[in-house]
A = this chain, B = another copy of it.
Amino acid sequence: MRVSEEELAEIPGLARFENMPLPEAFKLVGEHTKEFYSHQEVYGDFCTLQGYIDCPPRQVYDYLADMFSQEEYTYSVRDLEPVDDTGLHVGWDRLSGTTRIYVRIDANPDALTVDYHAAWDQGHDLWMIYLFRVVDAQTVLKRPGSVVLWTNCHHPYYEKNPYPELAPSPDRRWVGDFWHQFYGGHLLELENLKAILEYRHRMGIPITAGGARP
């Protein structure tokens, strides 16, 4: 802290040791700690999943950062092809028969973050963002392997398709209609990811083949 307690006290609503004794703080914490939380409370604004994978962090990162891995571990993204030479790819989302999905991957090998910037129907406004982060399980769980953190944020376009005229048909269900099922759906895919990576790591099969499809 580089400001005085007086300056800090001007900011309303802070819960700090100096202005809130321990019993009062624990009372507040107790009010936030519930036996059960509703789906909306936990997965309404953000949908985060976490999971342990018995595979080294760098390999999990490389796998997630490879565009074509989605064709393996996702339920329905298939047949990705480059649109141009900027990294933008287009494939099909089999969740909805004739829907095109556009994806660009923005990854940081030092931080092991991998972000999928994606959208249905068009590739100029990639608003559907899948935020992944791979963490060394040795540091956070004292065991070999990786922890994968995966967050989607409830972007307003989930509520309303910004480009309805680009849908392949007027009755195609919008991706945002599935927001309520994102936790369950992403859990299937996280379990796919775990199964594929642990199988290959255990069998000594290359995790990420790299390059184009055969």
Which chain B residues lie closer than 8 Å to A12 at the CB level? 195, 199
Complex CA–CA separation, A86 to B129 (angstroms): 36
Least CB distance from A148 to B in Å reads: 11
Least CB distance from A135 to B in Å reads: 6
A33 interface neighbour in B180, B195, B196, Cβ under 8 Å: B180
Complex CA–CA separation, A26 to B95 (angstroms): 10
A: contact size bracket: 35 or more
Q: How many copies does the complex hold?
A: 2
Least CB distance from A62 to B in Å reads: 13
A68 at the interface (CB under 8 A from B): yes
Would B16 and A68 count as touching, CB distance under 8 A? Answer: no
Given contacts A78-B17, A140-B155, contact A36 B33 (CB under 8 A): no
Q: Mark A67-100, 1 if CB is under 8 A from B, else 0.
A: 0110110111010000000000000001100000
Taking Cβ atoms with an 8 Å cutoff, the residues of A that contact B are 1-4, 8, 10-17, 20, 22, 25-26, 28-39, 42, 45-46, 48, 50, 68-69, 71-72, 74-76, 78, 94-95, 108, 110-111, 113, 117, 127, 129, 131, 133, 135, 139-142, 147, 149, 151, 153-157, 180-181, 183-185, 187-189, 191-192, 195-196, 199, 209-214
